[in-house]
Amino acid sequence: MHTLDQAHLSSLPSTVIRSGYDRSKVRAGIAHIGVGGFHRAHEAIYTDRALARPGQEGWGICGINLLPQDAAMAAAMKKQNGLYTVSEMAPDGSHVSRVVECMVEYLYAPENPAAVLDKLSHPDIRIVSLTITEGGYLLDEHGAFNLKHPTVAHDLQHPSSPQGAFGYLVEALARRRKAGIKPFTVLSCDNLRHNGDQARRALVSFAKARDPELAAWIEREVAFPNGMVDRITPATDDAARKKLRELTQVDDSAPVICEDFIQWVLEDHFPNGRPAWDAVGVMFTQDVSPYEEAKIRLLNATHTMLSYPAFLSGLRRVDDALHDKLFFSYLRGFLDHDAGVWLKSLPGLEIPAYKDKLLERFGNRAVSDQLARLCSDGGSKIPGFLLPTVHAILDGGRPYHRVAFLLAAYDRYLQGKDEKGEAYPIHEPNARTQLEPVMKSTSPMTLLSLKEVVGSKLPAHPGFVELYLKLRKQLDEQGVVATLQSLDPARESPPIAQA
């Protein structure tokens, strides 16, 4: 088994691909907050490719984690000098494993918050990118920022010793402004519509609560490009680690497994420079909105539609669900009759082919994504990924039986036991407080009363409420499979003609 660190980098197996640049010449120009599997399989891959091109040495990454639960990642990155392997798995069973070398620095904020602020304030850092989860932006359905969140309240009281992402960003920008250093670009890499605009809204809201003059400067001077990110990256559990050790013959404490598909569409708004991402596969466009809309309404919403019903039925892997004819047909119906009907093909993204590719990707046996991962944070995912399609369905007078079934399954899931009686932890890191009454309630209407999660249109629609309650009762009495089989295909409206 081969050791993974800087001293042993040149002795890794030849089957593990390297990008071929001189790592000793690379310095960090990007700071990334939220080093997890997705960042390391996505933005870091594109950056690693870019560093292999001439003149890109100033665009290495400084990885930053802020949370106590990131301690294991911190230990791995320190032990391995920021190195890790990514194994890209194709649906046909073939794979490519590579070592990613672009993370030339790493900081763990709970151990040294001052070092994080110093790094973010340094003129070398020209981009700060984020993967802090959809709920990490602390914005409600109306776009209002949660100033009462405990971390926000702490950071407003203690600006020089922050704990949260926005506290760090605003303090670093304040220091740069005072020192006459150009601001960094804030680059959200999270699955949010208009993720740059959302990052701007959250950051400026925080800054206004601290210093309105600083907030005005941030609004005027800081760029927040929007982007669409796409790559299925399961959590690396113990079984995956064992598999990857055998596959790569590398002793990696933080390996990443992902699909072979990767996509990034970005607005080219980087006043302080950027890597040559456009030369290594990133698509740049003036308006990323239609690409975001397509990806969120199709991939992310379909993941959500699958998650709770399949998990409740006793399944635990996404690929197992996709190879089940009943679940496959359910998702196909959602893509063709619910989500996809509102979307038009785009340059580089043909909607019919994209839908077909999605189902192939979800069924990838080599990736074998976890349904538990998809179930996590439903209180943020349902309003972000699903409600726009739900509202379009209701406004368009189209059938809503699948989305009613999904919400009934989510309510059932929040009871904490699947239909076989197996208990499971409920991971709701951002909406836990709002969802606690649902978890304790015996009434399915408690979920529909949460406008933060289901919006205001559903509880005001008598036909939807009636069907939701019927399906919720049926899930208790007959289970997921029988309820899903009972959904009436005669309800379908024909697909809207695609332009």
pLDDT in tens, 247-306: 999 999 999 999 999 999 999 999 999 999 999 999 999 999 999 999 999 999 999 999
In angstroms, the CA 273 to CA 183 distance is 11
Is the residue at 498 inside a domain? no
pLDDT tens digits for 349-384?
899 999 999 999 999 999 989 999 999 999 999 999
> Do 202 and 82 fall within a single domain?
yes
Q: What is the CATH number of the domain that holds 281?
A: 3.40.50.720
Is the residue at 461 inside a domain? yes
pLDDT tens digits for 85-136?
999 999 998 999 999 999 999 999 999 999 999 999 999 999 999 999 888 9
439: Cβ contacts below 8 Å, ≥ 6 apart:
414, 415, 416, 426
pLDDT at 194: 93
> Do 281 and 302 fall within a single domain?
no
> Do 133 and 99 fall within a single domain?
yes
Of 285, 314, 333, which marks where a domain is finished?
285
Q: How many domains does the chain have?
A: 2
pLDDT bin (cut points 50, 70, 90) of residue 143 is confident
Instruction: Characterize 395-412 residue by residue with b for buried, 16 or more Cβ atoms within 10 angstroms of its Cβ, and e for exposed.
Output: eeebbbbbbbbbbbbbbb
Distances in whole angstroms, Cα of residue 496 to Cα of each of 159, 291, 339, 392, 396 = 52, 19, 11, 13, 11
Of 285, 302, 329, which marks where a domain is finished?
285
* 221, pLDDT greater than 50: yes
Residue 52: both structure tokens together: 């292999």
224, 229, 235, 239 alpha-carbon torsion, rounded to 10°:
-150
Q: Give the whole-number percent of the chain exceeding pLDDT 90.
A: 89
Q: What is the CATH number of the domain that holds 422?
A: 1.10.1040.10
> Do 258 and 372 fall within a single domain?
no
Q: Quick one: average pLDDT of 382-391? A: 92
> Do 307 and 395 fall within a single domain?
yes
114: Cβ contacts below 8 Å, ≥ 6 apart:
none
Average pLDDT, the chain: 94
Report how far Cα 64 is from the mean position of its chain's Cα atoms.
17
Burial of residue 370, with CB atoms counted within 10 A of its CB: 0-12 exposed, 13-18 middle, 19 or more buried: middle
Of 241, 259, 285, which marks where a domain is finished?
285
pLDDT at 492: 61
pLDDT at 169: 98
Q: Residues 411, 447: contact at Cβ < 8 Å? A: yes
Which one, of 161, 397, 197, lies nearest residue 292 by Cα? 197
pLDDT tens digits for 303-318?
999 999 999 999 999 9
Is the residue at 496 inside a domain? no
Is the residue at 220 inside a domain? yes
> Do 248 and 116 fall within a single domain?
yes
Residue 476: both structure tokens together: 């208790």
Residue 463: both structure tokens together: 């036909």
pLDDT bin (cut points 50, 70, 90) of residue 142 is confident
pLDDT at 184: 98
> Do 79 and 171 fall within a single domain?
yes
* 432, pLDDT greater than 60: yes
> Do 178 and 58 fall within a single domain?
yes
Range(s) of the domain holding residue 477: 289-491
pLDDT tens digits for 7-22?
999 999 999 999 999 9
Is the residue at 497 inside a domain? no
pLDDT bin (cut points 50, 70, 90) of residue 498 is very low
Is the residue at 48 inside a domain? yes
pLDDT bin (cut points 50, 70, 90) of residue 491 is low
